Chain A
């Protein structure tokens, strides 16, 4: 019988103690970290896992006969199973370790080069991060396939009617993010997946921004590919996951050649290893993979739903406070959104605000957030983006609001 992880009652002050970085001072001010959509901070439990790996069982995996190698292999494969459980994949070998979301997308896009033919169509949404646009443009250049865009409205919600009109028998794959990194929109991916399937098209969901807030069930979604990064969910950078349905992963050719991904090699012919190793050439980020597992344990002990509920309170509080500032415009007003607020203040460049509030200890992101098409849609060059995590507090939001007001006074 499986023992369910013990649930910790949600207590933000206790949670904050797990994050050593939150004690930092920036220019003499306490750090207020609101750049969580770019990368999340790391709890002690994950840091300890990394230290433990390098202190006690650092070794190369899968091939060694010695104890350390076996221990490292066990922990790495256990981490894969944790990811499998978290995303409810049917089989552990449907989880491929990647260096992150971008790697996962490129792996699939590269594989589709052998599937697409001239005149085939692929769809991306207007909300995508550059990393879910550019690999597909490259694929189109290679294959002669045509890239079409699912449009959005002023709230940052995708136009599903338009989406349906774009679908046809020519559509081979559809790419949509589960959550927009710039606007926070939660997309209705189940509907999008079902519609695509009715035309025989595959679907890749970029879950990078959703994974820290929403537990995706890949079987219930019936999604073909789902990608995410560990560093946005309390894990380390440089590691991520690709879920692919077994039948798809068998169909796609290997992405990179090398060690680990082969069955036999002769100079005449090489046969490839079974899943998941076929897509995991070379020595992987072993420590990162194991720490990814530890990060999932950490988040699940608190509970993703609990996290989402608390973050939503932060979102509502911050939105209300921001709207009190004269001249503010918030981009992304979808009914269903995560704790991300993109905004501008009339006549002030986002960099100026970002620079000033950094001096007051507040970390936000400014710029186009790797989504230039969204900026073009709103006819702006950039926004200030504050993104909240479950270790943030309303007191921090008050500090942030005061800093923005002070910057505004200076810059006007």
Chain B
């Protein structure tokens, strides 16, 4: 099992292989299709992330001392972005999630290549994942 830093480095490496942004978006769309989908019953108002222009639902649950995330979105590119975040943060200990940084997003240039509304959505998504981590960390202690 890789740690958060290693997964982030892996993603940065993957993205550096592409020549242009169209290819990166194609890859993100592919990633979106691999997203661990949220159970329909969790697609509720409380699990909607505020600040995204497209709809994004995220659900978190503990398995042992690891936090598992599932999600969905009505837009495919957004789904790809969530998939990247979930690949980084899912199946990790809440403390590790809280202590991690998200420098890798700048490194792959994701933020600057998203529209401001999407970039805000990205910030909201990360904040939401960390909120879950915080809540479950308290539960674990």
Contacts and interface: CB of A to CB of B under 8 A. Distances in A.
Interface of A: 27, 348-349, 351-352, 354-356, 358-360, 367, 381, 410-411
B17 to A, nearest CB: 18
A410 B74 contact: no
Contacts of A348: 76
Contacts of A349: 54, 74-76, 78
B21 A351 contact: no
A348 B29 CA distance: 12
Contacts of B20: 27
B78 A359 contact: no
B115 interface: yes
B14 interface: no
B125 interface: no
Nearest to B55: A381
5 contacts: A349-B74, A351-B54, A359-B22, A359-B25, A381-B55
Interface residues of B, number: 18
Most central of A355, A358, A360, A410 by chain B CB within 10 Å? A355
Given A351-B53, A355-B115, A411-B76, A27 B21 contact: yes
Contact of A352 (B21, B77, B113, B114): B77
B100 to A, nearest CB: 26
B77 A351 contact: yes
A351 B78 contact: yes
B43 interface: no
B26 interface: yes
Contacts of B25: 355-356, 359, 410
Contacts of A358: 115
B130 interface: no
Interface string B21-45: 1100110010000000000000000
B53 A352 contact: no
A355 B79 CA distance: 13
Contacts of A367: 53
B32 to A, nearest CB: 10
Nearest 8 CB-CB pairings of A with B: A349-B75, A351-B75, A359-B21, A351-B54, A352-B75, A352-B77, A352-B76, A355-B77
Contacts of B50: none
A355 B118 contact: yes
